[in-house]
């Protein structure tokens, strides 16, 4: 799947990245040239950290950054701040996830590279946030620009096709975060090509 994403992204002229499961980070990072991100990183320094994933571990695996505070692995705001700081100190990219505009504004103070707005109730669903709750996307874009103008905004949750992508871009998002639409698709190549055509 990662090689396919790399190939299709290159053909479409769209910047893409992949976030595989932690056990697959090193394998995928050595397989493709596109950025590979961890799905989660713990806000801890290296040391006796059994069961934790320090930023140094994902860097050693070849990842170029990590998602932080995904709805399936949320962190308190202070821990999200620490994670972003630790990632930045290692030259790694942070993609901080937020469930709503208020949370997005709070987390924008961490100054992540990217902030992804993903209402949990729409993740994996049939309706994209860009059409079901467009005010959440545009509100997040405004909130982030006020607090952290250098932070890019991504739109996730229910994004399925090029229309969802186009609508997200119209609302001010710089890109999308997608999982279920591709991983559950009978023909992932067709879905990826369609999504990329939205750019």
**Residues annotated as catalytic (active site), given as ranges:** 70, 118
List phi, psi (to 5°) of 175. Answer: 180, -170
CA-to-CA distance for 102 and 143, rounded, in angstroms? 8
d(CA 18, CA 173): 18
* Contact predicate 87/55, CB 8 Å: yes
Structure tokens of 22?
Answer: 């932690």
Q: Is 34:6 a contact under the CB 8 Å cutoff?
A: yes
């Amino acid at each position: 799947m990662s090689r396919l994403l790399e190939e299709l992204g290159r053909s479409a002229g769209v910047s893409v990245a992949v976030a595989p499961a932690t056990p697959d980070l090193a394998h995928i990072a050595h397989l493709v040239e596109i950025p590979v991100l961890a799905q989660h990183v713990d806000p801890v320094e290296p040391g006796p950290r059994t069961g934790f994933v320090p930023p140094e571990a994902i860097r050693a695996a070849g990842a170029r950054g990590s998602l932080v505070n995904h709805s399936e692995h949320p962190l308190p705001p202070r821990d999200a701040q620490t994670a972003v700081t630790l990632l930045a100190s290692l030259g790694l990219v942070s993609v901080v996830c937020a469930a709503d505009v208020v949370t997005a504004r709070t987390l924008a103070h961490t100054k992540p590279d990217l902030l992804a707005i993903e209402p949990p109730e729409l993740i994996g669903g049939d309706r994209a946030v860009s059409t079901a709750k467009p005010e959440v996307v545009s509100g997040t874009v405004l909130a982030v620009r006020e607090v952290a103008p250098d932070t890019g905004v991504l739109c996730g949750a229910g994004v399925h096709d090029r229309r969802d992508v186009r609508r997200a871009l119209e609302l001010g998002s710089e890109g999308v975060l997608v999982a279920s639409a591709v991983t559950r698709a009978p023909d992932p190549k067709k879905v990826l090509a369609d999504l990329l055509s939205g750019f």
